[in-house]
Structure 1
């Protein structure tokens, strides 16, 4: 993981760990130079770790605690260090064997979640994707990242995962930017089928689907797509990584943003009119 993550959650977790290491050093009454000498490091490395500019390894944490006479604290600090790592997972690690595993990795999370809040500014959310649209999207991802070609299996897994939108006790509050309707993934028939599927999804009892008109005045700007699970976890996916957010204050920021975006969306007949317009523009 790089020393500095684009996720503020990761940065905050790294800072908290660095602060705890600093407190241990201060409690021991020694300087960063002395920690470095006892660990066999340069003083600069001790400074980078303590200032959260370098992510320490598990062994770095063990040595730091040993140097400060605080071996008993090492296990909890290592656990915190690993938790920070889990917040930011590079796509290359997740996708090294292809895309199918990404569709099945969070199966338990999806099954136990009762309320999904989904905002998409770039593509139709996976829950609502047709096989043709999912194939076009996942194939472009596999090509861009140079991944093994398991697109057919990944699409099958994604479609199977999407059954929860019709089964079980799940609810979905989904907000799309109107621009998503115009981004063409696949040919005419693929897009026509996908847009038609969005119209059908509006009739599902578990789904609330709103669309933010492109021409509407904005009080909340378009942001990266994200999903909130039961108001306690947020997943979002910038180009280079998959980021999981669980810190309550940061989850609260996303919930506030979702509420603002939801208020800007139109529903029912107005939303259907936007989809119908997009279908007409395909021709």
Structure 2
């Protein structure tokens, strides 16, 4: 896992490293002795214990064998996989295509009661039209050079998930967009026009609160725009970055995102004022 600015990612990685070091000490092994038993250089042991290198599953097996605790292998591999999920590069996440990543998050979406989403650039997934989803995933596949072409399967999965969330009830959506997101075209003017019409429809739904931060808002002493993020109740925040995505689970960090969301929501306009901005963007498309 590459270095990130998130203490959630680093703390999870360090906790695993500390656990491995404790196993070595409990086994009364020096770093040199463990390294010899595992069959690698002592420097590797140091990097693992200082959380500078993420261990592989094979590394964990050899570590546990050297420490004479083979029964801990399944538990520690499960912990390692959880650490890996804190930060995941797009290249790794999408190496087998786009559908499986959408399938993996379905359970998280379905058990979430309150979605809070902030997007500075484009209309986010929960309220995207099928054409917008297809245009985005097609662009993602081309831009990230994904070899597997399962765009249509991924589109079908996302549309079905969205239909399920809105039809089953029990889910609420608070979505905040920057006004610039209304003009971001992915798929061309016709696709964006359909997307804007969809926004006018969903903002009238009881389960949806749609706020738009006007572009002329003075932010000199108020909340600035930040990266796009999704909040799943108070359990997790997912942040989409250029090289991958970060899953934040530390309560202190989730609280920071919640506070930021409140600040952004106070800048946004809702109801008729939001509909007016959407209609303005729709007229500008002239389609």
Query: Aligned-pair distance for 1:58?
Result: 2.7
Q: TM-score, normalised by structure 2?
A: 0.87
2:162 — aligned with what? Answer: 162
2:112 — aligned with what? Answer: 113
2:43 — aligned with what? Answer: 44
**Shift in CA distance, 123/65, structure 1 to aligned 2, threshold 3 Å:** same
Deviation track 1:118-154 (CA, whole Å, cap 9, x = no partner) reads 1112221112112222222121111112233333333
Alpha-carbon distance between aligned partners in 2 of 1:115 and 1:12, rounded to the nearest angstrom: 26
Alpha-carbon distance between aligned partners in 2 of 1:51 and 1:229, rounded to the nearest angstrom: 31
Query: Aligned-pair distance for 1:170?
Result: 1.0
Query: Aligned-pair distance for 1:36?
Result: 2.2
Alpha-carbon distance between aligned partners in 1 of 2:100 and 2:62, rounded to the nearest angstrom: 36
Do the aligned partners of 1:3 and 1:54 also contact (CA within 8 Å) in 2? no
Alpha-carbon distance between aligned partners in 2 of 1:215 and 1:166, rounded to the nearest angstrom: 36
**Shift in CA distance, 46/104, structure 1 to aligned 2, threshold 3 Å:** closer
2:20 — aligned with what? Answer: 21
Alpha-carbon distance between aligned partners in 1 of 2:97 and 2:71, rounded to the nearest angstrom: 41
Alpha-carbon distance between aligned partners in 2 of 1:15 and 1:102, rounded to the nearest angstrom: 26
SS at match of 1:96: coil
Query: Aligned-pair distance for 1:6?
Result: 6.1
Alpha-carbon distance between aligned partners in 2 of 1:75 and 1:192, rounded to the nearest angstrom: 51
Do the aligned partners of 1:211 and 1:267 also contact (CA within 8 Å) in 2? yes
Query: Aligned-pair distance for 1:210?
Result: 0.6
Which runs of structure 2 are paired with 1:41-190 in the superposition (5 Å)?
A: 41-68=40-67, 70-71=69-70, 73-147=72-146, 148-163=148-163, 164-190=165-191
Deviation track 1:194-223 (CA, whole Å, cap 9, x = no partner) reads 112111111011000111122212322222
Moved more, 228-237 or 101-110: 101-110
2:276 — aligned with what? Answer: 273
Alpha-carbon distance between aligned partners in 1 of 2:102 and 2:78, rounded to the nearest angstrom: 27
SS at match of 1:227: strand
Which runs of structure 2 are paired with 1:256-267 in the superposition (5 Å)?
A: 256-267=259-270
| Paired residues, number | 282
Alpha-carbon distance between aligned partners in 2 of 1:94 and 1:28, rounded to the nearest angstrom: 36
SS at match of 1:209: strand
Alpha-carbon distance between aligned partners in 2 of 1:104 and 1:68, rounded to the nearest angstrom: 38
**Shift in CA distance, 199/91, structure 1 to aligned 2, threshold 3 Å:** same
1:31 — aligned with what? Answer: 30
2:231 — aligned with what? Answer: 228
Q: TM-score, normalised by structure 1?
A: 0.88
Deviation track 1:70-110 (CA, whole Å, cap 9, x = no partner) reads 55555433332221123233323433343233333322322
Deviation track 1:217-255 (CA, whole Å, cap 9, x = no partner) reads 232222221211121122222232233333323322222
SS at match of 1:208: strand
Deviation track 1:20-71 (CA, whole Å, cap 9, x = no partner) reads 2233334455432333233332221111111100001233234334444555
Give the 4+ runs in structure 1 shifted more than 6 A.
Answer: none
Moved more, 8-17 or 236-245: 236-245
Alignment partner of 1:209 is 2:210: yes
**Shift in CA distance, 185/48, structure 1 to aligned 2, threshold 3 Å:** same
